[in-house]
Chains A and B, each alone.
Chain A
Amino acid sequence: MSFFNPVFAFVFVPLVVVIYNLFPKKLRAFILLAISLLFFAFISKWLILYLVLSIVSIYMSGIGMQKLEEKKKEVLKTVEKDEKKAVKESYKKKRKFVLVLCIIFNVAFLFMFKYFNFFAVNLNLLMNYFKVGHQITIVKHIAPIGISFYTLEALSYVLDIYYGKIEADKNIFRVALYLAFFPQLLEGPIARYQDTANSLYEGNKVTFESFTWGYQRILYGFAKKLIIADRLNIIVKSVFEDWGRYNGFTIFVGIMSYTIMLYMEFSGTIDIVIGIGEMFGVKVPENFRQPFFAKNVSDFWTRWHISLGLWFKDYIFYPVSLSKSMKSLTGKAKKRLGNHYGPLVSGSVALLCVWLLNGLWHGAGWHYIFFGLYHFFMILMGNIFEPSVAKACEKLKIDRKKKGYRIFQSIKTTLLVFFGELFFRAPSMAVAFAMIARMFDAVSFSMSELMTFGMDSRDYVVLMLGMVGMFIMSVVREKGIDVRENISRKNIWIRWAIYYGLILLLLIFGAYGQGYVPVDPIYADF
């Protein structure tokens, strides 16, 4: 199921809105929850059981931790001052036990569906190597849709309770709706409980304004997918399936096209999710912020799949880098390496954990792990060489704040990301390296091969114009201008002319129907 299926966007969503509005405010949250669960069951059938188990587990753990916290406060009132520390420690341990149990319970499902076979295959290889007679049986699983996304949401809920950022919700339906809200099930974004739960549960009426406002965002997502991503898909499929046939320039175009296609498809899907959220009065967090304008790889990951980056930052990076052992490591490293490189040591350990897990989150495969390590290495290099680059720029009298330097930074970062994403798309690391080697071996700037993919020159013109349009939109958004807000202030005829123009552009120049192969929802597989 893709959100770009017209039946979903233009039949299912309006139908949900009508049904939702028909009910009184008090019941709307339940209707939305029922629809979300039905939507999940429609795609994943009986695997809905795992979603329900996740909901129940985080709800119970949350309540459990909350009760322990309340009990601790009560006990603290009754004990002497010198006993307070021990009581606090004792309750902290109990809360931690509940938290760890809940994490293990949820991660176990994720491991079983996504990672078991990967570890089993590699363990079997190891056992073969060491001539151990035992072999682990490989089991074929179909994972519940969006398990990687909703598991992270589930964990964030219990972790936030543990860290005292939020209070446990006593209403299981609100918790369920937070985890199961249908637009977020497929590709996220990974929202936090405090972002969406309350507004989802409020049951705000879908008004004419919120409905049309949401659809404007949905159409923008469709434009990214149908005009750009689905055309780039033709190039990507041809190059990645038969890369040995093509010259270096064509392979580079294929690699570049993949990252842009991924961005257009994924951010387009998120536009649809945010648009649907806006209809129901829910502010789903943004997941992209002009990533190709990033000044370095680290900055890129604060602009691309933001919700995942923030999740890893809050629940992996900080806990690891602020742990007792890391703090002591930082102290020692500071003495030996100074104030810049010293803290970098513990930061790098935390960063390594983040990127190993980030790679694994995307998929169970060595190329995904390499993808993670590649970004870790690039960010680490950036951190290490930052003082030297700053010094060199000062000596060469290069103003790092000037536009020219910023453009250079963005191009450099984008190129680095293109190659990182190559490892993401290639079927194996060996193929990715072979493609890079071929790119430099078969150096040629002949563009004639681009015309052999089944896209004619007119398709390329539409593709280029589409990308120029998106680039302009990105520049405008980077400047903090809200395009929709601006359009909404124009008079009705200008507004309508823009909407009609966009709809007709989509209908006419969209790459759908015979001769085009739509991109499958890429992130829905993770």
Chain B
Amino acid sequence: MKKALKGIVFVLILCMLVEGISVILLPLDKVKKYGLYKTSAYEIVAEEEDSVDVIFLGDSLVYSSISPMEIWDGYGYTCYDCAQPAQIMPYAYDYLEVAIESQHPKMVFIEANIMFRDPDKLPFYKKIAYRIENYVPIVKYHSNWKKYFTKNKNSWLNVNKGYIYITGVKPSKKDPLNYMDINDENEAYILPENRECFDDMIKLCEENDIKLVLLAVPSQKSWSRSKYNMVKEYAAEKNVDFIDFNIDHDLGIDWSTETKDRGNHLNYWGARKVSDYLGSYMEETGILTDHREDEKYKSWNTAYGIYKNNLKKR
């Protein structure tokens, strides 16, 4: 009994130490304002308030295919990838809800692949791992210790703005022309709970005067003609723009050099093409302002400098 008690005390003190250190690895003012969990789970919270124009929601297809810094460089719009691995619609909704607490985005893009993911099929251990990761931020943000050893005043900046930089190449073996038809083994279907969640998102965006856009980034494995047909019809029904890079818009992706994993995700070179197209689409809408010369957005230029420098290093 005494030993069990000793073990419990040891673990309790360890938990306190881990949580204490977690706080100092995150921006303290944000932790004070939004709490440890939100600051940890939703990276956008660390951004300066009311500074982000565009939010991208979705799974790994988003953080591998859209680089906000490329859009900043080309068009001067501030974008953020609010993406999570295997994100499900309810998590995307939660993210959007938290994001608009501190930001007033004018556009929100949802990568449509998450509409086909069954929220109930997310394994329970992944849900637990997701919770633990955010309640124990030290695991996710442990590298932030480096910020205490830098002269850079903007050291808390997430320079990639949610994008994950990948240069690896694993060429695809699929036919670049008809991969959409090959993937049509099962008929695509949007679950009622995802439709419901999407309706809630539309409502949230309308209330906050946000333009909602559905998006399908190039992916030879995750996307198919039947998904395309389904989303196209659904977007028309909901009166939402739908941008598809697999059938409607050919970005000229070279599947032998611009994918990191045989056609599922793009690498940096593919992401540049997607980001550039999205920048031009945003420009066409005419609802965003170029902030590159704006003194208020100086930190974005600083972040871009670091981003570019990091690219050179690799």
Residues of A at the B interface (CB closer than 8 Å) are 208, 212, 451-454, 456, 458, 496, 499-500, 503-504, 507-510, 512-515
Contacts and interface: CB of A to CB of B under 8 A. Distances in A.
Interface string B20-42: 01000100000000000000000
Contacts of A212: 7
Given A507-B18, A507-B138, A507-B139, A454 B313 contact: yes
B145 interface: yes
B142 A208 contact: no
Contacts of A510: 142
A458 B149 contact: yes
Given A452-B313, A507-B18, A508-B25, 7 more contacts: A453-B313, A500-B13, A500-B17, A507-B21, A508-B21, A508-B145, A513-B140
A182 to B, nearest CB: 20
Given A458-B149, A507-B18, A508-B21, A513 B143 contact: yes
Contacts of A509: 142, 145
B142 A508 contact: yes
Measured as residues with beta carbon below 8 angstroms from the partner, the interface class of chain B is: 20 to 34
Contacts of A452: 313-314
B140 A504 contact: no
9 contacts: A208-B7, A454-B310, A454-B314, A500-B17, A503-B14, A508-B138, A508-B142, A508-B145, A513-B142
Contacts of B10: 496, 499
B238 interface: no
B164 interface: yes
Contact of B313 (A451, A499, A503, A508): A451
Chain A contact residues, majority secondary structure = helix
Please list the 4 inter-chain residue pairs (A to B) with the smallest Cβ-Cβ separation, ordered nearest first.
A208-B3, A458-B146, A508-B142, A507-B138
Contacts of A514: 143, 164
Contacts of B145: 508-509
A451 to B, nearest CB: 7
A508 B148 CA distance: 13
B3 to A, nearest CB: 4
A514 B159 CA distance: 13
Contacts of B310: 454
Interface string B115-154: 0000000000000000000000011101101100100000
Nearest to A515: B143
Contacts of B3: 208
Contacts of B14: 500, 503
B36 to A, nearest CB: 16
Contacts of A512: 142
A504 B313 contact: no
Nearest to A507: B138
B124 to A, nearest CB: 13
Nearest to B144: A508
Contacts of A515: 143
Contacts of B13: 496, 500
A500 B15 CA distance: 10
Contacts of A503: 14
A208 B314 CA distance: 47
Contacts of A513: 139-140, 142-143
A208 B4 CA distance: 8
A507 B145 CA distance: 11
Contacts of A500: 13-14, 17
Nearest to B167: A454
A508 B21 CA distance: 9
Contacts of B21: 504, 507-508
A454 B7 CA distance: 40
Nearest to B148: A458
Nearest to B314: A454
A255 B153 CA distance: 37
Contacts of B18: 504, 507
B305 to A, nearest CB: 15
A515 B143 CA distance: 10
Contacts of B7: 208, 212
A90 B220 CA distance: 69
A456 B146 contact: yes
Contacts of A453: 313
B142 A507 contact: yes
Nearest to B142: A508
B230 to A, nearest CB: 33
